[in-house]
């Protein structure tokens, strides 16, 4: 695969790209639902939670449960403040080669995160020793419209003073695909061949084969 020159920054999604978080999410949401004597989440709901904000996920789960879930929606939202996600971080698994690829990129590329996580992102980075590995982290709390809206990607472009062709985004979901397309940013689809993307990778180390160790300035010629 040919090298992709002109790139100055690499943006990562969090869940499914930096971390395997499905076990943690399942434990978190199942405990929340159990507080209201509601049945545990389904596989489809877990997939939805993987891509969306916690409030979007909770609303989706409760509405699928009909009247009982809808009636307690506000109560469940209030309970979110009492359920400490730090208790579930032990279920998180860092993706293979994440730290290695960040070490490869950091001398020459700026790095950022665009995620629909909210308050849990800082504690996650701290726990895995990644807080200093990113120049910017944009969560759903930092934007008015979370992904698939491109606002978080635009925010990173503005902060870095870069154009879309100077940035790539590593994502694994349809939400990431839509955000990247709307922002006109090149998507590296990670472990998801169903996504529409110019690049598909199965390992983060494959970024070494595409992004040169020393990036060259972009040329429109």
Residue 217 in any domain: the answer is no
**What is the spatial distance between Cα 131 and Cα 154, in angstroms, rounded to a whole number?**
22
Q: Which of 90, 106, 130 is the last residue of a domain?
A: 90
Q: Are residues 118 and 200 in the same domain?
A: yes
**What is the spatial distance between Cα 56 and Cα 48, in angstroms, rounded to a whole number?**
9
Residue 219 in any domain: the answer is no
Q: Are residues 61 and 110 in the same domain?
A: no
Question: What would the mean pLDDT of 169-181 be, rounded to a whole number?
Answer: 98
Contacts of 23 (CB under 8 A, 6+ apart): 91, 92, 93
Pick the more confident residue, 73 or 99: 99
- pLDDT tens for 117-164 read 988 999 999 999 999 999 999 999 999 999 999 999 999 999 999 999
Number of structural domains (the chain) is: 2
Q: Are residues 123 and 173 in the same domain?
A: yes
Q: Are residues 114 and 184 in the same domain?
A: yes
Residue 4 in any domain: the answer is no
Q: Which of 90, 109, 130 is the last residue of a domain?
A: 90
Residue 116 in any domain: the answer is yes
Q: Are residues 140 and 203 in the same domain?
A: yes
Q: Are residues 101 and 70 in the same domain?
A: no
Query: Domain range holding 201?
Result: 9-20+93-210
Q: Are residues 156 and 166 in the same domain?
A: yes
Q: Are residues 201 and 103 in the same domain?
A: yes
Please report, for the domain that includes residue 139, its CATH number: 3.40.50.1000
Question: What would the mean pLDDT of 69-81 be, rounded to a whole number?
Answer: 67
Q: Which of 90, 120, 139 is the last residue of a domain?
A: 90
Instruction: Flag whether pLDDT at 167 surpasses 90.
Output: yes
Residue 215 in any domain: the answer is no
Q: Are residues 75 and 109 in the same domain?
A: no
> What is the pTM (predicted TM-score) of this model?
0.88
Kindly indicate the confidence band of residue 220, based on its pLDDT and cuts at 50, 70 and 90. very low
Q: Determine contact, residues 38/68, Cβ cutoff 8 Å.
A: yes
**What is the spatial distance between Cα 58 and Cα 77, in angstroms, rounded to a whole number?**
8
């Amino acid at each position: 695969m040919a090298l992709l020159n002109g790139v100055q920054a690499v943006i990562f999604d969090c869940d499914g790209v930096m971390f395997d978080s499905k076990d943690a999410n399942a434990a978190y949401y199942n405990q929340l639902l159990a507080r209201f004597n509601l049945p545990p989440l389904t596989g489809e709901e877990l997939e939805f939670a993987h891509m969306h904000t916690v409030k979007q996920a909770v609303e989706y789960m409760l509405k699928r449960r009909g009247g009982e879930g809808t009636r307690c929606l506000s109560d469940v939202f209030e309970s979110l403040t009492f359920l400490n996600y730090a208790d579930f971080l032990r279920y998180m698994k860092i993706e293979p080669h994440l730290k290695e690829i960040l070490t490869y990129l950091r001398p020459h590329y700026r790095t950022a995160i665009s995620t629909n996580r909210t308050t849990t992102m800082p504690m996650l980075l701290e726990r895995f020793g990644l807080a200093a590995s990113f120049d910017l982290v944009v969560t759903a709390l930092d934007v008015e419209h979370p992904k698939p809206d491109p606002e978080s990607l635009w925010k990173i472009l503005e902060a870095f003073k870069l154009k879309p062709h100077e940035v790539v985004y590593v994502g694994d979901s349809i939400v990431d695909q839509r955000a990247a397309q709307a922002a006109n940013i090149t998507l590296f689809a990670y472990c998801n061949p169903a996504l529409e993307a110019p690049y598909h990778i199965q390992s983060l180390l494959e970024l070494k084969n595409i992004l040169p160790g020393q990036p060259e300035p972009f040329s429109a010629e």
